[in-house]
Structure formats: structure tokens, C-alpha cells
């Protein structure tokens, strides 16, 4: 492990030299790759430097054990250094786990109403607000890509682009079926209903060219944009629908008044969906008996239940129940995100130990 960390320390020096070069931004793809690699390496190098400092402290304390006057203090320093070394070794081992190459990417967040009719569409709007507030808390930018509203102000489907470092790493475990139990606004007798929405978190590809899309495999339709209640009606055919014939994936975008921009955005969402499908296919092929992800990632899997009458949220993948409904619905997802990440890392460590 020490040799690997020393190698990464040297690599960080090389990256810093490359990033300080005058023409580094001439090649933006290369600049992004170097910046992403630096963000991955820096915590490891910092931890390694702290580890070397702790081993130095241990050696110094052990040398002082032979001095009768300093022995008591040296024993305390030795114990503290040993404890610190163990902590740093655990942290470095965790940091050395194989990194998800998509962790630092922007994302496309897709929310679709499922079972439950209008109440499901209203819950989709509730989830959208939760994720938008989470983005605000992290100072990320958001961009509406596509929306299909319901009669009561919910969403049948909505797609949002979230732009911010680490967006995928923080939200990638949100993919799946979210179930809600609450009294709907449409319920006159106060009965609790159960409905569900599907959430998909797709990492944004650097360039559309990263995903091979045969022009003969897509059909592009244009139509007039429209919104619920006649809002945002466009008299020109600026809305775009792209159908990927080979996979059956359909993407619509009508948020912009420009047909060209809508088509560009729709192509980016299509590329992200195709890349996600390729990645999940590869994961299924490489799957072992132990899970490599928290949950299967299957879009049909119920991952979380929001019980509003009891103020309870339960994540079924890790059996975590929190009684902080108001905070979570206002975008405080940190505790959930940390717990899911920790479980994922524990699974990875266990699988690596079994393979060793």
C-alpha cells in the first residue's frame, strides 16, 4: 500500500505541473480529465502524508521510552500514535477502493410518476423540490430539460440537469422506486393512500461522441411546445422528440424556444441514457455473489418509503429509518447519502477481501 501511495504522491506533482501550464485550457477535455484525477488523488496523498507523520511520531516516542524521566509521556505519545496509524490505515484503505469514474460528473435527474395517478404526479413534484433544495445546499446549478405537468400541478415526468462537482457520487443511490404513504390532496375523507415514483440518476457524458449513436437508429419529430393549462404555448414547432429505434428510448425536450437547443439537449439526455444502459449491462455481466452496489440498481426495486403520517422515512436497502421528514423533504439528504455510501464501501471492501 505504501508503494502505491508514494506513486500517487508523485503523480499529483506531475498533475499540478500540467495544470499550471499556460495552455492547459486549450484542450478542455484534457483539462477536465486532469482536474478530475487530481480531485481523486489529493485526499489519498494528504492522508499518506499524515500517515508518514504518525509513523514518525511513533518512532520518536519509542526512542524516548528508554529515558526514565520521559517514559510516562512517551508511553502516552506511543499509544496516541498507534491509534492514529490504525485510523489512517483504515481511511487510506477506504480511499484506495476502486473509484467510480462517474462520481464527479454532472447528472440528469429523471422523475416519473408511477402507480397512484394524480397523487403520484404530486409526489413527483415533492421529490423534485427535495432534490432541487439539496442542489441549492451544495451550491450546484440546475437546468430544467423537460417537463410534463399534471392537471393539479404535479409532474407525469420531469428531467433536470444538475451541474456540480460530485453530483453523481452524492445522488447515484437515489435511482429506484420511491414509495409514499400520505393523505392525498385529492382525498376528501382523510384516508392514507400509497403511490410511487421512479427516480433515475444518469451521469452526464463528456461528449455525445463518447456514445456511438447511429443517425439511422434515431427518429426526430418536431411539434409545438405546450404546458399545463395552456402555459408556455409556442406557435412554432420548437419542441423535439427523439426516438432511439434500436432501444426504444424516447426523449422529449420543449423547455427552450429554440428547436436547435431542444434537439441538442435531447441528444445529450439520450446519450446519458444509452451510456447508463451500457454500464448496467456490463455490471450484470460482471456481477458476483456479493453486491457491488447498494441494491441492484434495478429501476423496479422499491428503495425507500416516505410515511408522512408517522414522519418516517425508511431506506429498505440498508434498513435505515429516520424520523426527520421535514428536514429531508427540504433537501437535507446528507445522513442518507453518507449511510448509503458507507454501506457501498463496506461491500466493496468485503468483496476485495474475499478476492484476495
CATH class of the domain comprising 2-95? mainly alpha
Return the pLDDT at 79: 94
The DSSP output letter for 256 is S
Domain ranges, ordered by start, for the chain: 2-95, 101-204+305-356, 208-287
192, 182 contact by CB (below 8 A): yes
d(CA 320, CA 226): 41
Torsion of CA 20, 26, 32, 34, to 10 degrees: -40
Residue 345 is predicted with a pLDDT of 82
Pairing of strands 249-253, 176-182: unpaired
Cell of 199: 427516480
Q: For the domain 208-287, what is the CATH code?
A: 3.30.160.20
Q: Give this prediction's pTM.
A: 0.66
pLDDT tens digit at each of 356 positions of the chain: 788 888 889 999 999 999 998 888 888 888 888 998 898 889 989 999 999 999 999 999 999 998 888 899 999 999 999 999 999 988 887 787 777 888 889 999 999 999 888 999 999 999 999 999 999 999 999 999 889 989 888 999 999 999 998 999 999 999 999 999 998 876 767 788 899 999 999 998 876 556 778 888 889 988 887 654 444 445 567 889 999 988 889 998 887 778 888 888 888 888 888 888 877 776 665 444 334 434 443 444 689 999 999 999 999 999 999 999 999 999 999 999 999 988 888 887 777 666 55
Rg (CA), the chain: 25
What is each CA distance from 98 to 50, 79, 106, 185, 283, in whole angstroms? 21, 32, 20, 46, 14
CB atoms within 10 A of CB 88: 19
CATH number of 101-204+305-356: 3.30.70.1660
Phi–psi pair at 274, nearest 5 degrees? -65, -40
- Assign 190 to helix, strand or coil: coil
Amino acid at each position: 500500500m505504501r508503494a502505491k501511495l508514494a506513486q500517487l504522491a508523485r503523480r499529483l506533482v506531475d498533475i499540478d505541473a500540467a495544470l499550471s501550464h499556460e495552455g492547459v485550457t486549450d484542450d478542455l477535455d484534457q483539462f477536465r480529465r486532469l482536474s478530475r484525477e487530481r480531485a481523486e488523488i489529493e485526499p489519498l496523498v494528504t492522508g499518506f502524508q499524515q500517515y508518514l507523520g504518525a509513523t514518525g511520531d511513533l518512532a520518536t516516542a519509542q526512542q524516548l521510552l528508554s529515558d526514565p524521566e520521559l517514559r510516562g509521556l512517551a508511553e502516552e505519545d506511543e499509544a496516541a500514535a498507534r491509534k492514529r496509524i490504525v485510523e489512517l490505515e483504515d481511511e487510506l484503505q477506504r480511499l484506495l477502493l476502486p473509484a467510480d469514474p462517474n462520481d464527479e460528473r454532472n447528472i440528469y435527474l429523471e422523475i416519473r410518476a408511477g402507480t397512484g395517478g394524480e397523487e403520484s404526479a404530486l409526489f413527483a413534484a415533492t421529490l423534485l423540490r427535495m432534490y432541487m433544495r439539496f442542489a441549492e445546499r451544495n451550491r450546484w446549478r440546475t437546468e430544467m430539460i423537460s417537463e410534463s405537468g399534471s392537471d393539479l400541478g404535479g409532474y407525469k415526468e420531469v428531467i433536470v440537469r444538475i451541474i456540480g462537482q460530485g453530483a453523481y457520487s452524492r445522488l447515484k443511490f437515489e435511482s429506484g422506486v420511491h414509495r409514499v404513504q400520505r393523505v392525498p390532496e385529492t382525498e376528501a375523507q382523510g384516508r392514507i393512500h400509497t403511490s410511487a415514483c421512479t427516480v433515475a440518476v444518469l451521469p452526464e457524458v463528456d461528449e455525445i461522441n463518447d456514445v456511438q449513436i447511429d443517425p439511422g437508429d434515431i427518429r426526430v419529430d418536431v411539434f409545438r411546445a405546450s404546458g399545463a393549462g395552456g402555459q408556455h404555448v409556442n406557435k412554432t414547432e420548437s419542441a423535439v422528440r427523439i426516438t432511439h429505434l434500436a432501444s426504444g428510448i424516447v426523449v422529449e425536450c420543449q423547455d427552450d424556444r429554440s428547436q436547435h437547443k431542444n434537439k441538442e439537449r435531447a441528444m445529450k439526455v439520450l446519450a446519458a441514457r444509452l451510456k447508463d444502459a451500457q454500464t448496467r449491462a456490463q455490471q450484470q455481466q460482471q456481477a458476483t455473489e456479493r453486491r457491488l452496489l447498494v441494491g441492484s440498481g434495478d429501476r423496479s426495486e422499491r428503495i425507500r418509503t416516505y410515511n408522512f403520517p408517522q414522519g418516517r422515512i425508511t431506506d429498505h436497502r440498508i434498513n435505515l429509518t429516520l424520523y426527520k421528514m421535514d428536514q429531508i423533504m427540504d433537501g437535507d439528504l446528507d445522513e442518507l447519502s453518507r449511510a448509503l455510501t458507507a454501506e457501498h464501501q463496506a461491500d466493496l471492501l468485503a468483496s476485495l477481501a474475499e478476492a484476495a
